[in-house]
Amino acid sequence: MIVRKVIDPYIAYLEEKRNHLMARRESKLEILREGGERALLHSRHDITRIDFALLRIDKKQYGLCPDCGCEIEEARLTSVPETVFCASCQSDRDKKNKHFRH
């Protein structure tokens, strides 16, 4: 169930950003030249996040945090539409992920 009234702007934004990233991915060499292997990995990660957000929209669960089930703050969705977790779950994840970073 979707609580948010208008998600069309988010869908438009996400699809546009996805197209942009896909176009960049096609020129992998360009990305490698610009930012090295890490930049390439990062770009792949962005697409995964966007795909996940679009999937959540598809399932009409966009705007709900899959970890705790609460509604994600409107301001957060507006500034980072590809976010799927609420602020507190995201920061928990960031803390955990830090262990895998160099």
49 and 16 Cβ atoms separated by less than 8 Å = no
For the chain, first and last CA: distance in Å? 40
CB of 47 to Zn ion, least distance (A): 23
Total chain residues near Zn ion (CB under 5 A): 5
Q: How far is CA 13 from the centre of its chain?
A: 11
Amino acid, single-letter form, for residue 37: E
The stretches of 1-102 forming alpha helices (DSSP H) are 8-26, 28-58, 74-79, 87-97
Range in contact with Zn ion (rule: CB under 5 A) among 17-25, 45-53, 56-64, 85-93: 85-93
CB of 87 to Zn ion, least distance (A): 8
Binding mask 12-51 for Zn ion (x = CB under 5 A): ----------------------------------------
Residues in contact with Zn ion by the rule CB under 5 A: 65, 67-68, 86, 89
